Structure 1
Amino acid sequence: MATSGRLRLRAQTIARSTQPALYQPVARVWVDTGVFHLDQPYDYYVPQELSEVSKVGVRVQVPFNGREVEAIILERLEKSAISGVIKAITKVISVHTVATRASLKLIELVAQRWIANPFDIAKAAIPSRVASVDKKEFDELQRVESARKARGIHSFIAFDPVIPAPAQLGALASRALRSGSVLIIAPDESDIDAICTDLEERDLPFIRLDSSQSRSIRYENYLRAMRIKKTIVIGARGAVFTPIPDLSTILVFKESSHEHYEKRSPGWNVRDVVSMRRSLESIDLIFTGYVPSLELSVLIDSKRLSYVNHSHRLNIKSFSSDDGALLPGKIFSDIRKALVKGPVLFLAPRKGYGNALLCAHCRNLAICSCGVRLIVSSRGAAPSCMMCNSSYPDWSCTYCKRTKQYLAGRGIERAAEEISRAFTGYPLILSFGDVIKTRIEPTPPALVLSTPGATPQVEGGYSAVVVLEGLRFFSHPDLRAQERARELFFETSAILHPKGVALLCIEQSHPIVSSLIRWNPGAMIRSELAERVEIALPPTVTSFVITGPVGEFSILTAGIRKAISDKRLATSVKIYGPIEIAISQAKLVMYCHTQDTNSVTTFLHELARRRSIAKKEYLSIRINPYSL
C-alpha cells in the first residue's frame, strides 16, 4: 500500500502549545546528544498532529540541552517513566520508517557489546537522509513473517578451487532465496561488483547497498530493501543492520577479510554482529571463504559451527632457494611449460622497488636521521626515507663508510625487472597499488605480476601461479599473519586452470604445501589454535585495546591493577603496556578469559562514562580488534 499523499512532506512541524496525542502520547527515543555518557533513551510527548506519522523507527527532531537535535523513535507508550513535565517532539524529519524493532534491538546490543552510544551505531547502520528521496512514495512496511522457512543452517562453507568464488556464492544465494530474502555481506566494492555481475547473469533480483553509490541511490535502495520480499540485498559491512521483512539467510563473503571490521569507533565486526542477528531473528547464517578465521575455527572445533569442505587434489610444487634468488633454479622449466598454455601469475609479497637498503660490505641497515629505514623507489633512484622522504644521493654506510649498496626487501617493480629478463618475448602486466587490473585476456600468454588483493581474473584460469618469496607472507609481525597467508595461498591457488600448477617458492616441509595439495587447512589451523591456547592469545582469550593521551596511562594502568587486586575486575585480566604508539598517544592491551568478557566490558564502559562526565580526554576502547 502506497504512502498517502499527505504523508509525503519533507518535515512536519508543530506549535509548542499543541496537545499530546490521544493514543500512546509518549515516545521513547534515542537522541543524537554527541556526548558519550548521555546514551540512555529519553521520553518526549507526541503532539496529536504528529501522532499518525510518529512511528517506531521514524526520525524526529527534539529539543535537547537548548538546541534542536535528531532522534529516532524506539517505542510509543501510554505513560512516561519520568515524573513531571516532558518536552514535545518538534518535528518529524521524515515520514519513512528507517528502522524496525528488531534492527533497533540489534543496534542496542552492538552498542552494549562494543561500549558505544547507540545513536552512533544507528548513524553507521542507517544511511543519511536525502530530502529528494523522502518526497517519493514507498510502500508501507510489510509485517515480518513470524514463521520463516529457516533451515537451521549455521556453517562455514569453504570455496572449491577453479570455480570463481562469486559464482559459488551466487549458487548459494539462489538456493537460499527459495526460503526468503537473502542478505550478502562482502568485504569491498570490487567483491560486490563481481557478485552483482553473477547475480545478473542468473537473473536474480537484488538490491545493492554500499558507499560506491550516491547518497540518494543508497538511501532509496535502503528504503526499498525494507519493503520488498523475496530479494537479495548485497552490501559491505554497514549493510549488516539492514531490516529486511522476510530475511531467511545471511551470507558472509570472504569471512576472514579485515574489511569486515568497522574502522571507525567502536570497531564492531561483521562476524559477531551477524551472529547476534541470527539469535534475534532465527535466520540461517552461512560464512564463506577459502579458510575460516581463527575465531570461526574455535566454533568449528567445539562443534558450534558446521564446516563444509570438499576434497580436491591440486598440482602443487614447492621450490626452495638457498642463495636468495627471486626464482629458484628448478622452477624455470615449469614456468616455461605453463607459458605455452596461457598466462602465468606471479604473486609478490610487497609493492615498491627496494623496500630496504643494506651496506653491501657489512650488511648493516641504512637508516635515516629520523630513525626510519631507507628505501629505493625505482631503478637508479637515490635512497630516500620511507617516512620523511629525505633523499640521500651521496649515501654511505654509517658504520663502515663504504658506498656500495645492497637492495633487500625486493618489491614488485624490481621483481618485474628480473622476471621480464628471465622470460623474454612475453608481455608483462603489473597490477598493484593505484594501477589494478580487474581482468585480463587469456591470450596471448603473459607474465602477470600482482600484490595480494590486486590479482586480475582471467577466463579459464591461469596455467600456473607462482607465489614469490612464500615465507614472507607468513612473516608479518602481527597475530593475523598466519591466517592471512593461509587464505591468500588458497585463494591464489583457486584461480588456476583445471590442469594448471601452483609453484610455491617455499620449503617443501612448510605445512601450507601439504594443506594445498589436500585442499584442507585443518592441520595448520589446529596447530596454531593449540599454540594460542598454550600461551593465552586471541581468540582463546578476549582482547581489549585502549588508546588515548600518553599522560593518562600511568594513572589508568594503576587504577586497573588496583581494580584487579580489589576483585572489582576479574583476576584473569592480564595487562600489557602501556606503550607509546605516536606523538602524545599510547596504547594499553588487556586480555581476559572469555567467560569474563561481559564483566570486563561493563567495567570499561563505566570507566568511559565517568571520564565523559568528568570531561576528560576521549579513550578509544576496541574489543577483539582485527589487529592488536
Structure 2
Amino acid sequence: MVDVPLAHLDRPFDYAVPDELAEQVVAGCRVRVRFAGKLADGVVLELAGSTDHTGKLAPLAKVVSAEPVLTPEVAELARSVADRYAGTLTDVLRLALPPRRAAPEKRPRLDAPPPPEAPDPAGFARYPTGPQLLSAVADGAPARAVWTALPGEEWPTRLAELAQAALSGGRGALVVVPDGKDLDRLAAAAEVLLPAGSVAVLRADASPDVRYGRFLAASRGSAQVVLGTRGAVLAPVRDLGLVVVWDDGDDLHAEPRAPYLHARDVLVHRAHLAGCAAVVAGTARTAEGQLLVESGWAHELVADRATLRTAAPRVQAVGSDFELARDAAARTARLPTLAFDVARKALQAGTPVLVQVPRSGYVPSLVCDRCRAPARCAHCAGPLGVAPRPGAGGTRIAACRWCARPAATFDCPHCHGTKLRAAVIGEARTAEEMGRAFPGAAVRVSGRGSGVLATVPGGPALVVATPGAEPVAEGGYGAALLLDAWALLGRADLRAGEETLRRWMNAAALVRPEQPVVVAADAGHPVVQALVRWDPAGLAARELADRRELGFPPVTRMASLSASPAALAEFLDALRLPDHADVLGPVPEPPRPGQEGERERYLVRVPRGEGTGLARALREVQGVRSAKKAPEHVRVQLDPLELA
C-alpha cells in the first residue's frame, strides 16, 4: 500500500522484490517505492509468487525497516474501517502506525509474562451477571455487554479485572478511554492487578520513542494488554480476546481527522471481525449503546434498584414545585438558596464541594444587551468574549476569540445597541463568585484554561470544574452543584439531552452515597428526571425511540457533505445514491477561523442496512473527483457526532 493521499489510488500495487532485499522484506514491513517518478513510503500487505499485472513490475527501492508493524488482522480491520467511513486505507494506516524510530527496534525482544490467575469476581458481584461476564471472557467466549457502572464505582479496577480475565485465558485485551486523566487511573489499576511487562500504555502525549517502543511491545506480543485513548483502537494485540471502551459518549472518542472514525464503532466492528468479547461501558448510556442492547448484539450489565439506591447520591432539582414555593428566585438565580445551603453544610462538615459549569474561561460569550444577539467581531465576524489581557495586570476586556482584537466599541448590526452582557459565564468567573459567596473557603479550579486537576484532598474546599475535568476527591465529594443547565439542555444538537445527562452523571458519580447533588434545572425536564431517578438506560431507550421515529442516527446512517455550493452541486450530480436515500439541505455552514468564501452542507440519510451502499457511492465520487483533479475538496463525514 503506497502512502498517496488520493482517493482514486486507494488500492494495493504490485512491486518486484529484488534479490538483495529478499531476506528483509516481510509482510507488514515499511518500504520505499518509486511511484509516479518520485520516492514514496509504503507498507507491504503480502508477499505473492505471481501477479496479475501484465507489464514489468517496478522493484522496491528500499526497505526502511524489516520490522512487521502491520499485522494481517489490523490490515483487514483498517480496510474495513476505510470502507465503512468512505475514506482511504492510507488515512486509516496513518492513525494505526506511529512514525518509525530506530532505537526501539534495536532493543531485544522480550517474552510475554506467564498468564495471571483469574480475577476475584467480588468486584462485579454487585451486578447480577457480572461474575458470569468475567468467566466468559476468561473462557474466550464472544460475550458482549453494555455495562452501566454504579455511581462511585472503581471503574479502573473493574476494567483491569476484565483485562486480567482475558489474560488468564491466554488472550489479549484492548481498553480505550477518553483522555489522559482517565488513562492514568486505568494504568495505575492495571499496574496493581496485571503482571509486570504485560501492559502497553499508548498515550498521545508520550515521546515518539516511548510511544513507538510500547507499540512494538504490543506488536511483538510481549505486552498482551493495550491501554490507550482513541488512537489505540487500531493497536496490534496478539490473540485478541476482549475490547472495551469506557464512556463511549465522550466526544473525545471521535477522530477529528479523515476518515473521522469513532472509537466505539471501530471497537464493536473489531470485536465482530475477531470474534472476541466486547464491553461498552460508562456511568451513562448512549443511544448507540441502547441499540446494541435492543438489537440483541449485547446484553446489559446493570445493578438492581436496591443496590443502586445504596450507592447513588441524593439528587435535587431547584425547579421543583417545593423549591419554587420555598424560594421564588430559584428559577432565575444562578446560585439558589438550596444550592447555597447544600454547599455551606458540606463545607462545615469538612468535605469538598464540586461545582460543575458548562464553559471554560471567564466570560466566553457576549451578546447585545438590548436584543441578545450574539456579539461578533467587526473585523473577522468571530465571537466576542472576555478574558485576561496579557501584560495588562489581569485586566479583563472584550476581545475577539478568533483574531484576538479588542472590541473597544460595539455597534449591534441588528438593533444598533452599544452595550454588551454575558451570555455564558465560565469556570474562572464562577470561581470568583463562589469565593465571594463563601469567604474563607479554599477555591480550586480545574479546566482547560487553568489546568486539569487529577485529584484533590478530602478537606473542605470548593472545586469549580468544567465537564470532563472534574478531579477525583479523596473519599468523595460531600455535595455537588450542577449550574447553568440551560447552556447544556438548550443546545441545538441531536445529542443535547444524552450528552447533558452523561456530563451530570459523571460529576454526580464522584459524590459520596446519599449526599446531595443539586441541579439548577426544571424538575419536569426528562433529562432532569432521569438524573433524579438515576436511570440512564430509561433515557437512552427514550432517545432511541425518538430517533427511530424521526429517522436519525443510530437507527439510520447519515453522511455530511460540506463544500462551496458549486462543488456540492457537482458532487451530488455524480452521486449514485441507494434506493431509500434522503437528501436534506443545503444549509449554510457557520464561518470558521480563516475560512474564505461561502460554504454549505448537505445531509444524506439512508436506512442502516444501506449504510455500506452509501459509503461505497461516496467513495466512488471522491475517486472520480480525485482522478479529474477537482480544484475543491468536498468534506465527507459519515455518522458525524454533531448534527446541529
Distance in 1 (CA, whole Å) between partners of 2:589 and 2:356 is 35
2:513 aligned partner: 498
Farther-moved stretch of structure 1 (133-142 vs 249-258): 133-142
C-alpha contact 2:178 2:250 (8 A) present in aligned 1 = yes
Q: Give TM-score scaled by structure 2 length.
A: 0.85
C-alpha contact 2:585 2:601 (8 A) present in aligned 1 = no
C-alpha contact 2:385 2:398 (8 A) present in aligned 1 = yes
Distance in 1 (CA, whole Å) between partners of 2:627 and 2:420 is 57
Displacement after TM superposition at 1:476 (Å): 1.9
- Any residues of structure 2 matched to 1:16-415 within 5 Å, and which? 30-138=1-109, 149-179=139-169, 180-204=171-195, 205-228=198-221, 231-310=224-303, 311=305, 312-313=308-309, 314=312, 315-320=314-319, 321-322=329-330, 324-341=332-349, 342-357=351-366, 368-369=377-378, 374-377=384-387, 381-393=396-408, 406-415=421-430
Displacement after TM superposition at 1:322 (Å): 4.8
- Is residue 489 of structure 1 aligned with residue 520 of structure 2? no
Identity %: 28
Would the alpha carbon gap of residues 406 and 518 (structure 1) be closer, same or farther in structure 2, given more than 3 Å must change? closer
3-state SS of the aligned residue for 1:496? coil
Distance in 1 (CA, whole Å) between partners of 2:109 and 2:188 is 27
C-alpha contact 1:578 1:589 (8 A) present in aligned 2 = no
Q: Letter of the aligned partner of 2:241 in structure 1?
A: S
Q: Letter of the aligned partner of 2:64 in structure 1?
A: I
Distance in 1 (CA, whole Å) between partners of 2:48 and 2:376 is 67
Displacement after TM superposition at 1:446 (Å): 0.6
Distance in 2 (CA, whole Å) between partners of 1:211 and 1:362 is 44
Distance in 1 (CA, whole Å) between partners of 2:93 and 2:193 is 34
Displacement after TM superposition at 1:535 (Å): 1.9
3-state SS of the aligned residue for 2:633? coil
1:579 to 566, 576, 588: 588
Would the alpha carbon gap of residues 234 and 405 (structure 1) be closer, same or farther in structure 2, given more than 3 Å must change? closer
Q: Deviations over 1:172-219 (max 9, x none)?
A: 323333222211112222221121112223354311122222212211
Displacement after TM superposition at 1:551 (Å): 3.2
3-state SS of the aligned residue for 1:197? helix
Would the alpha carbon gap of residues 367 and 98 (structure 1) be closer, same or farther in structure 2, given more than 3 Å must change? closer
3-state SS of the aligned residue for 2:233? helix
Distance in 2 (CA, whole Å) between partners of 1:67 and 1:610 is 23
C-alpha contact 2:173 2:225 (8 A) present in aligned 1 = yes
Would the alpha carbon gap of residues 518 and 151 (structure 1) be closer, same or farther in structure 2, given more than 3 Å must change? farther
C-alpha contact 1:356 1:375 (8 A) present in aligned 2 = yes
* RMSD of aligned Cα (Å): 2.8
Distance in 1 (CA, whole Å) between partners of 2:526 and 2:27 is 54
1:603 to 605, 612, 617: 617
Farther-moved stretch of structure 1 (605-614 vs 335-344): 335-344
Would the alpha carbon gap of residues 88 and 512 (structure 1) be closer, same or farther in structure 2, given more than 3 Å must change? same
Would the alpha carbon gap of residues 74 and 558 (structure 1) be closer, same or farther in structure 2, given more than 3 Å must change? closer
Displacement after TM superposition at 1:241 (Å): 1.7
Displacement after TM superposition at 1:38 (Å): 1.2
Farther-moved stretch of structure 1 (389-398 vs 223-232): 389-398
Distance in 2 (CA, whole Å) between partners of 1:388 and 1:226 is 45
Distance in 2 (CA, whole Å) between partners of 1:405 and 1:113 is 47
3-state SS of the aligned residue for 1:115? coil
Q: Deviations over 1:39-97 (max 9, x none)?
A: 22111222333323322111222222222222222222221112232122232221111
Farther-moved stretch of structure 1 (325-334 vs 343-352): 325-334
Distance in 1 (CA, whole Å) between partners of 2:472 and 2:571 is 50
For the pair shown, which has the larger CA radius of gyration, 1 or 2?
Answer: 1
3-state SS of the aligned residue for 1:171? helix
Distance in 2 (CA, whole Å) between partners of 1:133 and 1:345 is 43
Farther-moved stretch of structure 1 (524-533 vs 548-557): 548-557
3-state SS of the aligned residue for 1:75? coil
Q: Letter of the aligned partner of 1:316 in structure 2?
A: V
Q: Deviations over 1:569-595 (max 9, x none)?
A: 424332321534442343222111112
C-alpha contact 1:149 1:248 (8 A) present in aligned 2 = no
- Matched positions, count: 589
Farther-moved stretch of structure 1 (597-606 vs 172-181): 172-181
Would the alpha carbon gap of residues 324 and 115 (structure 1) be closer, same or farther in structure 2, given more than 3 Å must change? same
Q: Which runs of 5+ in 2 are unaligned?
A: 114-136, 320-328, 389-393
Q: Letter of the aligned partner of 1:330 in structure 2?
A: L
Farther-moved stretch of structure 1 (398-407 vs 386-395): 398-407
Q: Deviations over 1:430-485 (max 9, x none)?
A: 11223224244434301111111211211111000110122322222222222211
Would the alpha carbon gap of residues 53 and 466 (structure 1) be closer, same or farther in structure 2, given more than 3 Å must change? same
Q: Letter of the aligned partner of 1:326 in structure 2?
A: R
Distance in 2 (CA, whole Å) between partners of 1:137 and 1:397 is 67
Distance in 2 (CA, whole Å) between partners of 1:357 and 1:267 is 32
Displacement after TM superposition at 1:402 (Å): 7.5
Would the alpha carbon gap of residues 217 and 47 (structure 1) be closer, same or farther in structure 2, given more than 3 Å must change? same
C-alpha contact 1:58 1:73 (8 A) present in aligned 2 = yes
- Any residues of structure 2 matched to 1:419-430 within 5 Å, and which? 419-430=434-445
C-alpha contact 2:330 2:337 (8 A) present in aligned 1 = no
3-state SS of the aligned residue for 1:43? coil
Q: Letter of the aligned partner of 1:377 in structure 2?
A: A
Farther-moved stretch of structure 1 (456-465 vs 243-252): 243-252
C-alpha contact 1:573 1:590 (8 A) present in aligned 2 = yes
Q: Deviations over 1:548-581 (max 9, x none)?
A: 3443123334454xx56xxxx4243323215344
Q: Give TM-score scaled by structure 1 length.
A: 0.87
Would the alpha carbon gap of residues 208 and 343 (structure 1) be closer, same or farther in structure 2, given more than 3 Å must change? same
Distance in 1 (CA, whole Å) between partners of 2:395 and 2:206 is 43
Displacement after TM superposition at 1:611 (Å): 0.5
Farther-moved stretch of structure 1 (252-261 vs 224-233): 224-233
C-alpha contact 1:355 1:409 (8 A) present in aligned 2 = yes
Q: Deviations over 1:127-152 (max 9, x none)?
A: 1111223333336999xxxx994222
Distance in 1 (CA, whole Å) between partners of 2:520 and 2:61 is 67
Would the alpha carbon gap of residues 271 and 397 (structure 1) be closer, same or farther in structure 2, given more than 3 Å must change? closer
Q: Which runs of 5+ in 1 are unaligned?
A: 1-29
3-state SS of the aligned residue for 2:512? strand
2:433 aligned partner: 418
Distance in 1 (CA, whole Å) between partners of 2:56 and 2:234 is 35
